[in-house]
Amino acid sequence: MKHLLLLLLCSCAIAAEPPPPRHGSLLLAVNDDGFSAFHNGRYQSADDLRRAMLAFKDTQVAIMEWCVIAGSRANYPSKVTELIGSGMTEFPRRGDELAHTTLKRMADAGEHTLKIVADACHEAGLACYASLRMNGDYAESLSGGSFARYANSSFWWRHPQLRITNAAGKSGQRFSFAFPQVREFKLSILREVVQQDIDGINLDFQRHPVFFGFEKPMTDAFKARYGIEADGISQDDPRWVPLRYAIMSGFVRDVRRLLDEAGRAKGRHLGLSVRVDWKKYPTWGCDIATWLKEGLLDYLVIGQHGLGGYDFDITPFVKMAAGSGCAVLFGEEAILSGHDRTAEEDRLIAAGKMKPAPRSLLTREHYEKRAASLRAAGTQGIHLFNETRKAMLSGYSP
């Protein structure tokens, strides 16, 4: 009887189902961080947001990933966490105040940013994935603590014991996924977003590693497995990898189950994707091979943590995904140089004492040249991150 039940469960498993390419042979996905365009004033209303999504109507872009949080606060009216910037009267930068003012005005008017984006994406013929930055909270030392107050949730402030600790026991800024409470907090946000008419969820591991340290659940697991204390063991020691794999794979399975439950209610498949670093993913706890084998992912974005313009061999991941049904996308990072403006720089620029720091970006020629080599490597698509130049994307056909 047990074998029959297992067979029935396996036969009902939902196979990988990436969105199909659109107006071309390569699958093109774009990530909008859900904050920068509010910060710079490009999104100041629901109409602005809707028009931005409709601009992709006749392009090759098939997937819009809309990030739903900054730090661990939301850009939509959430019951799980706070709205970005809520509770503040003085802000780190002018753009931070503008973003909060816009998002609060929209929330007060009953306008849900993710719903607006999803509806407009569907009108334009795009799939809409809600993107979760996996560990994006900010250090209290940044901007005198003002940006942590702006972006980090009350859950973060209330639970310093759930953050990553180093070998000396010192707590850092990021949550540790070793704690069930952290994983549940992340899942609770995702349970809210699947209530909207989205097509899937993207887990962005590149924003921001790391995910585990020397917390007691980790050191206890290390001792139980290897019979020795973790004291003096490097974080890069490969013996940590299977311990991290076990925890993070449990979380990814939970997300997949959440999507399957929501999908059954909606009568359609809801996708799951992840964005990881091509080299560092094992130390982050990302067991890609198992996720593919179990059919958890619909598309896999392989990039590099850091500024763009990088190059690496993606063929091992194409081979790893062969037969899984999961599409493999090369993850481009548009920014080649520059940094986010600090609060002090913003004050100097506002006073006319400093010019904005320049940033260099990948050009259309860069993208097209790189796309040719990616085709040859067997990549099914390209994922664009920090690429907000809609005019350029409207004609980009890799």
Cα–Cα distance measured from residue 114 to residue 172, given in angstroms and rounded to the nearest whole number: 31
166: in domain = yes
Q: Tell me the average pLDDT across 222-248.
A: 97
Q: Tell me the average pLDDT across 272-287.
A: 98
Provide the pLDDT for residue 393: 78
6: in domain = no
pLDDT at 262 over 70: yes
Q: Tell me the average pLDDT across 151-171.
A: 96
Across the chain, what does the average pLDDT equal?
A: 94
Which pLDDT band, with edges at 50, 70 and 90, does 5 fall under? Answer: very low
Cα–Cα distance measured from residue 382 to residue 261, given in angstroms and rounded to the nearest whole number: 29
- Least confident span in 87-91, 167-171, 182-186, 236-240: 167-171
pLDDT at 10 over 50: no
Residue 153, SS3 per DSSP: coil
- List pLDDT tens digits, range 134-153: 999 999 988 888 999 999 99
Q: Tell me the average pLDDT across 88-108.
A: 97
- List pLDDT tens digits, range 302-324: 999 999 999 999 999 999 999 99
Q: Are strands 360-361 and 335-337 parallel, antiparallel or unpaired?
A: antiparallel
Examine residue 61 and say whether the peptide bond preceding it is cis (omega within 30 degrees of 0): no
Which of the two residues, 9 and 281, has the higher pLDDT score?
Answer: 281
Per the DSSP assignment, residues forming a β-bridge with 133 are: 204
Q: Which domain holds residue 67?
A: 25-393
- Least confident span in 26-35, 257-266, 367-376: 367-376
CB atoms within 10 A of CB 230: 20
7: in domain = no
398: in domain = no
Which pLDDT band, with edges at 50, 70 and 90, does 7 fall under? Answer: very low
Which of the two residues, 391 and 21, has the higher pLDDT score?
Answer: 21
- Listed residue (291, 303, 317) closest to 29, CA to CA: 303
Tokens of 81: 């966490």
Q: Of all residues in the chain, what percent carry a pLDDT higher than 90?
A: 90
Tokens of 262: 């929501």
Q: Of all residues in the chain, what percent carry a pLDDT higher than 70?
A: 96
Per the DSSP assignment, residues forming a β-bridge with 129 are: 65, 200
Cα–Cα distance measured from residue 112 to residue 117, given in angstroms and rounded to the nearest whole number: 9
Which of the two residues, 171 and 280, has the higher pLDDT score?
Answer: 280
2: in domain = no
Into how many domains does the chain fold?
1
- List pLDDT tens digits, range 331-381: 999 999 999 999 999 999 999 999 998 999 999 999 999 999 999 999 999
16: in domain = no
Distances (CA, A) of 334 to 169, 322, 366: 37, 28, 10
156: in domain = yes
Provide the pLDDT for residue 6: 38
As separate numbers, helices (DSSP H) first and strands (DSSP E) second, the chain gives 16, 14
State the DSSP string of 281-350: HHHHT--HHHHHHTT--SEEEEE-SSSS------HHHHHHHTTT--EEEEEEE-EEE--PPPHHHHHHHH
Which pLDDT band, with edges at 50, 70 and 90, does 164 fall under? Answer: very high
Q: Tell me the average pLDDT across 157-162.
A: 98
pLDDT at 388 over 80: no
Return the CATH number at 217: 3.20.20.80
Asked whether 248 and 218 are in contact (CB, 8 A), the reply is: no
1: in domain = no
- Listed residue (272, 250, 385, 261) closest to 324, CA to CA: 272
Which pLDDT band, with edges at 50, 70 and 90, does 107 fall under? Answer: very high
